[in-house]
Chain A
Amino acid sequence: DAGVTQSPTHLIKTRGQQVTLRCSPISGHKSVSWYQQVLGQGPQFIFQYYEKEERGRGNFPDRFSARQFPNYSSELNVNALLLGDSALYLCASSLDGSRGYRYTFGSGTRLTVV
């Protein structure tokens, strides 16, 4: 079985640009969550989606947005990139995000903003 897949694996963008990150959950998983992990820190929650609806949002500015598609894959968009957005962006999927099932993480997208 394929795990959580994320693309691209690495990305370099310039300040002010926009970026779209993609995630495909494990087959059968309906919930996708996005986390930002700055170097040397633990992952910080950005969004959770379940059945195409936003279930939760972390303390991130409106420059961050996401959506989930009918096949449960998801995209994370970040507009007007800042240097501080440089991080590893992790996607995690679970069967049902509200009932305590474990998250399975992908390997992440390493975003560097220059």
Chain B
Amino acid sequence: GESVGLHLPTLSVQEGDNSIINCAYSNSASDYFIWYKQESGKGPQFIIDIRSNMDKRQGQRVTVLLNKTVKHLSLQIAATQPGDSAVYFCAARNYGQNFVFGPGTRLSVLP
């Protein structure tokens, strides 16, 4: 099966700095990955996704990098803002299967 983990359970960054949140997955057959943001009392909110045929994908202030060789992906948030404070989850999917979520990283933005 698939297992997904994150390198750090918590991350604190200064407002305006860039944030990098890392994630590792175990199944080399995983073909689709999503980063979700979850604020207190809410369901996970889609941030950005990437398919296994890509190495990098950019959104508004966010970039996801995928390294299939070492089964690692990262989420980069540029110019981190107080509103970015939340728990971030990566999720990995095997084709036809369901998403497996990591345990999450809590991002705190310091003033």
Residues of chain B within 8 A of A104, CB atoms compared? 46
B26-68 contacts to A (CB < 8 Å): 31-32, 34, 36, 41-46, 49, 51
Choose among B43, B46, B93, B96 the residue that contacts A108 (Cβ–Cβ < 8 A): B43
- If the complex has contacts A42-B89, A90-B44, are A103 and B103 also in contact, measured as CB distance less than 8 A? no
Q: Is the CB of B89 within 8 A of A102?
A: no
B-to-A contact residues, CB < 8 Å:
4, 31-32, 34, 36, 41-46, 49, 51, 89, 91, 93, 95-104
- Distance in angstroms from B31 CB to nearest chain A CB is 7
Question: A64 within 8 Å of B by Cβ?
Answer: no
Q: Is the CB of B43 within 8 A of A100?
A: no
Name the CB-closest residue of A to B42. A107
Choose among B46, B93, B101, B103 the residue that contacts A100 (Cβ–Cβ < 8 A): B93
A93-114 CB mask vs B (1 if < 8 Å, else 0) is 0000110101111111000000
Q: How many residues of A contact B (CB 8 A)?
A: 22
Residues of chain A within 8 A of B96, CB atoms compared? 98
Residues of chain A within 8 A of B89, CB atoms compared? 42-43
Looking at chain B's contact residues, is the secondary structure mostly helix, strand, loop, or mixed? strand
Q: How far is the CA of A108 from the CA of B41 in the complex (A)?
A: 8
Those 9 A-B pairs whose CB atoms lie nearest each other, nearest first: A42-B101, A105-B43, A100-B32, A107-B43, A45-B98, A105-B44, A43-B101, A42-B103, A108-B43
The 26 listed contacts between A and B (C-beta, < 8 Å) are A4-B43, A35-B101, A41-B103, A42-B4, A42-B89, A42-B91, A42-B101, A42-B102, A42-B103, A45-B100, A56-B98, A90-B43, A97-B98, A98-B96, A100-B32, A100-B51, A100-B95, A102-B46, A103-B34, A103-B99, A104-B46, A105-B43, A105-B44, A105-B45, A107-B41, A108-B42
Name the CB-closest residue of A to B51. A100
Residues of chain A within 8 A of B102, CB atoms compared? 42
Name the CB-closest residue of B to A44. B101
Question: A33 within 8 Å of B by Cβ?
Answer: yes
Q: How far is the CA of A108 from the CA of B36 in the complex (A)?
A: 15
Residues of chain B within 8 A of A43, CB atoms compared? 44, 89, 101
